[in-house]
Amino acid sequence: MAQAVPLYPLPVTVIGGYLGAGKTTLVNHLLRHANGRRIAIAVNEFGALPIDDDLIVGASGNVLTLAGGCICCTFGSDLVAGLMEIAQRANEIDHIVIEASGVALPGAIAQSLCLVPGLSLDAIVVVVDAETVRARAADPYIGDTIVRQLVDADLVVVNKCDLVGEADVQSLSDWLPTVARSARLIATTQANISPDVVLGIEAPTAFRSDVARAPHVVNGFASQVFAVDHPVQSAPLAAALADPDLGLVRAKGIVRDATLGLVVIQVAGQRSAVSPFKGDKPGVPRVICIAQSRRIDIERIALLIRAHRG
């Protein structure tokens, strides 16, 4: 029997990072705030059952049924077999999250996604423990693994910031970009970050609000919606929104491309992608941007959008 290929690729977010960084806390946080998003968690670490008890509805073989239509599969070291299994259930889920093992290289996992038809990489998110990451990165045995994990990150979640002083957070903010050269940093405690940041902005929640003059600030993250009332060159616009100078952790747009028609723009840190719009209610073409702890440069982004008029 040939592998079934779903109609639309399923977005996959790879969550990497060493033991104790907070990957499991983050996964549980995502599940608790899934808000209708049906997430499949694929766990690539032996032995760990990473789901809080109260989220588990049922179990069958290596698959847990979770609250809100989510599922969790554990598959030890056989990542691709696990993904193939999940891909068979593509019509039951919206998003796959891979919780990588502590020594896995998330970049290599991301490369393996192309081996399973119907999957597409959303982003590589690497979680680090603010208190220990510097020491781990200097460890004679695992230092190079930590560094290789960070090098591939689109977003670095600097977790447990409450355990270190402000000076240490600053010093980390200076050091991390020298390793995770292409990543956006997100400082947090207890992995308390919205799924819109970790998994990408989801239309029903993020596109609910109208275009506002001032950013909407929740939990330290500012979001801002921009109306796009003209056709654009979508790929260059997406790439421009991923410019590190803008400091956006995520952006998503439904815009009319000059040649492709209605498309979806997705930005995760430095990564950007354009795909055809597949819904039936696009609404007003617009782009929503999210940044952490800083003003979103409204004028500059508006200018940027105009500059990419198609």
Residue with tokens 């977010």: 13
Least distance between other proteins and beta carbon 137 (Å): 14
Closest separation in Å from C-beta 2 to other proteins: 5
Task: Considering the complex, state which of residue 140 and residue 165 has its C-beta at the smaller distance from other proteins.
Answer: 140
Judged by beta carbon, residue 7 or residue 141, the one nearer other proteins is 141
Least distance to other proteins, CB of residue 163, Å: 19
What's the token pair of residue 124?
């590589």
The count of residues in the chain is 310
Helices 234-241, 298-307: inter-axial angle, 10-degree rounding: 160
The residues that touch other proteins, with contacts defined as CB under 8 A, are: 1-3, 5, 18-19, 46-48, 74, 76-81, 84, 101-103, 105, 108, 111-112, 114-117, 141-142, 144-145, 148
Cβ-in-10-Å burial (0-12, 13-18, 19+) of 199 comes to buried
Residue position matching structure tokens 């695992």? 142
If the CB atoms of residues 41 and 237 are measured against other proteins, the closer one turns out to be 41
Q: What does each C-alpha distance from 140 to 107, 128, 135, 137, 143 come to in angstroms?
A: 21, 18, 10, 8, 6
Please, are residues 155 and 186 in contact by the beta-carbon 8 Å criterion? yes
Of 35 and 77, the one with the shorter C-beta distance to other proteins is: 77
Q: Which is nearer to other proteins, 76 or 247 (CB)?
A: 76
Please give the Cα distance from 285 to 72 (Å, whole number): 35
How near is the Cβ of 107 to other proteins at its closest, in Å?
A: 11
- The residue (of 46 and 175) whose beta carbon lies closer to other proteins is 46
Q: The tokens 């781990």 sit on which residue?
A: 136
CB atoms near residue 145 (< 10 Å): 17
Least distance from C-beta 9 to other proteins, angstroms? Answer: 12
Beta carbon of residue 15, minimum distance to other proteins (angstroms, whole number): 16
